[in-house]
Amino acid sequence: MASSEATISQIYHVVLPLLLRAGQILTARQKELVGLNAKARHEKGQTIEEEIKSFLSNTLIQLFPKHSVYNPAKPVTGEAAIWQWIVTPLDGGRYYFRGLPLFTVSLALKHEGEVVLGLI
């Protein structure tokens, strides 16, 4: 689905199930942290967070090949910078690592530098 052909509403309806799936994965994997010491729990949590970020980023690029995913280490220019996703795979990591269900997955879509869609 090319962004120039899709409305923000259409993009929303395509991306919402992806966001919900990421949340389900995080919730299911949270039990892997139970019983670990603080350091191991944090390391495992970071691994899970990176896996979710990779899942979201790769799927977004497959769905919207002309978009990019924000990465502060690799700024993009040109056409890829026109539509850019901002992925926060785990907001509330402190609670997540402690086994509490107080966390979210967040996505934002920027068009020419302006946020046009946000999902939590």
Q: How would you write the pLDDT of the chain (120 residues) with one tens digit per residue?
A: 444 568 999 999 999 999 999 999 999 999 999 999 999 999 999 999 999 999 999 999 999 998 999 987 776 666 667 899 999 999 999 999 888 999 999 999 999 989 999 999
Single-letter amino acid, residue 18: L
CA pair distance 75, 44, nearest whole angstrom: 28
According to the model, what pLDDT value does residue 81 have?
73
CA pair distance 44, 1, nearest whole angstrom: 34
pTM: 0.87
According to the model, what pLDDT value does residue 74 have?
73
